[in-house]
Amino acid sequence: EPEVTQTPSHQVTQMGQEVILRCVPISNHLYFYWYRQILGQKVEFLVSFYNNEISEKSEIFDDQFSVERPDGSNFTLKIRSTKLEDSAMYFCASIPDWTSLGTQYFGPGTRLLVL
Amino acid sequence: AQSVAQPEDQVNVAEGNPLTVKCTYSVSGNPYLFWYVQYPNRGLQFLLKYITGDNLVKGSYGFEAEFNKSQTSFHLKKPSALVSDSALYFCAVRDMTGANNLFFGTGTRLTVIP
């Protein structure tokens, strides 16, 4: 069964450094998402992406964040200058089309630790 | 604004006993509700969803959930728990105003004791 994959599984970085989290959505999917979960808290929506542009973003997704689909397979989340509070598990998700009615397919996550 | 709440951080149940993981929701209009499960080192896996129709929804691995509009609940149930059901369970509701994203609860860790 096709799966969403994410790399790396864990990343440790220094505060102020840039990080890029990578995702490979399921190949025929058209809508892509990033979520994050700070330890012990809710899974929170960050951003959705369709047709090579952001379709929706939350208040969390400020100017420090950006997303990109640099080629036909990868979907990346960049944090420009990491802060301690960016430490979280980051999940990528995708859906095949708008009619899937919210059944999102998630990757295993990247655990980011900012020191 | 849409939201879901999972009142229990941890649920323990003996193998073979029925299990319930609770979820309540707050939405304006008709909710689209979901349950996801997360096993260690794996992504969130879709279990089941309620969109419309029968209040009792059946999903993967023998799980089911009952939509109760009067109590604004969507509790996850299974008649007989397995040790392999031990995992983290998330309730979610779809954002009806946005790009199909989900609002999640904080998760409930289910431990099935042999």
Q: Please report, for chain B, the start and end positions of each structural domain, with discontinuous segments joined by +.
A: 3-113
Pairwise CB contact (< 8 Å): B106 & A42: yes
Q: Are A6 and A107 in contact (CB under 8 A)?
A: yes
| Min Cα separation B111/chain A (Å) | 17
| pLDDT tens digits, B64-108 | 999 999 999 999 999 999 999 999 999 999 877 766 788 899 899
> Which candidate, B89, B75, B63, B88, places its Cα nearest to that of B33?
B75
Of A31, A95, A106, the CB nearest to B43: A106
**What distance in Å separates the CA atoms of residue B33 and residue B3, rounded to the nearest whole number?**
10
Of A6, A91, A95, the CB nearest to B100: A95
Superfamily covering domain B3-113:
Immunoglobulins (2.60.40.10)
**What distance in Å separates the CA atoms of residue A5 and residue B41, rounded to the nearest whole number?**
12
Map out the domains of chain A with their CATH numbers: 5-98+107-114 (2.60.40.10)
At B84, the amino acid letter reads: S
Of A13-22, A55-64, A86-95, B27-36, least confident by mean pLDDT is B27-36
